[in-house]
Structure 1
Amino acid sequence: MSTATAITPSITATTVPGHLRLRTLPTRFPGLFLVFEMSVFNYMDKFVKSYNGGYWEYIELSNGGFYMSLSSDKSFDLEVDSNGFEGSMSSDAASLVVNLFVYCQLANQHELDYLIEGFHALREFACLHPEANLILAAID
């Protein structure tokens, strides 16, 4: 009898260093970088009643993905009216949710391949996150 071992793919997340931050959004979202950034803030404000701003890290993923992550040790209660989701999650998980919503919205509006690819790369990473079940329920 043989046993098969499931291999879980690994995606590494790296914080963009401060000296590279200014060019990160314009490079990743040409012509839409301000829209992307403001949409992340707006979705967080919409989904998290207790959100009142904060410092956002830029995170690059080894699979080519990217997201903005709110730097906080707090957990947040999210309410997504469009699908009825209500739940509490870490700031990183909440950040993944809002970034996925932004990618989806912008991809639908602009039909740009890099936004569609960015959504799928980020969703792949979100599926490996410790709070994957909550994240996927929130974006369903």
Structure 2
Amino acid sequence: MTIQDQESPPVTATIVADADRLDFFPTYFGKYFMAGENLLYVHADRLVQDYQGGYWNFYTFSNGGFFAALDTDKEQHVVVADNYCSERMSAEAAGVTLMLFVLGRLLAARIPENESDRFIDLYHKLREFALEHAEAQAILTTID
């Protein structure tokens, strides 16, 4: 068996326990945790039709990544006017999409290179999960 024949295990998501919720944003965004959390809610308000706040679940990945998603079974309508996109997706897929936007926005900010490397790594870990997601096409269309 060659290295090319070996497949990596799928990326799995685990919900963060209530006791660990306060550490979630500081763990992944470091000193930018307030900006990262705020960007999540701003992007949700801007991109998710009929968003009116709500309880968010936090998730960590087996590959070291993370994301957050509204705790709802209701389908989310994500509209990105800049790329003429209108997609309906689960709250989980919308959360993945929003966090990709958040990480992209942080990378566009003028933060020191040694700190932006962490966000680049987290973006790729999240994208790896997104590519394996059942709604990958909707996520990728939305972030295009």
3-state secondary structure, aligned to 2:53: coil
Alpha-carbon separation, structure 1, partners of 2:67 and 2:32: 14
**Amino acid in the other structure paired with 1:47:** L
Match of 2:102 in 1: 102
CA distances 1:11-32 after superposition (whole Å, capped 9, x unpaired)? 1101110111111211221111
**What residue number does 1:133 align with?**
137
TM-score, scaled to structure 2: 0.89
1:7: Cα distance to partner? 4.3
Q: Deviations over 1:86-115 (max 9, x none)?
A: 111111111111100000110121241111
Other-structure match for 1:21: 21
Partner of 1:78: 78
Distance in 2, matches of 1:9 and 1:47, equals 32
Separation in structure 2 between the aligned mates of residue 48 and residue 21 of structure 1, nearest angstrom: 23
Stretches of structure 2 lacking an aligned partner (at least 5 in a row): none
CA RMSD of aligned residues (A): 1.5
SS, match of residue 72 in structure 1: coil
Higher helix content, 1 or 2: 2
Whole-angstrom CA distance in 1 between matches of 2:50 and 2:24: 28
Q: Which runs of 4+ in 1 moved over 2 A?
A: 5-9
Q: Which residue of 2 aligns with 1:115?
A: 119
User: 1:8 deviation in Å?
Assistant: 6.5
Q: % of aligned pairs identical?
A: 39
Which residue of structure 2 lines up, in the alignment, with residue 68 of structure 1? 68
Partner of 2:58: 58
Q: Normalising by structure 1, what TM-score?
A: 0.91
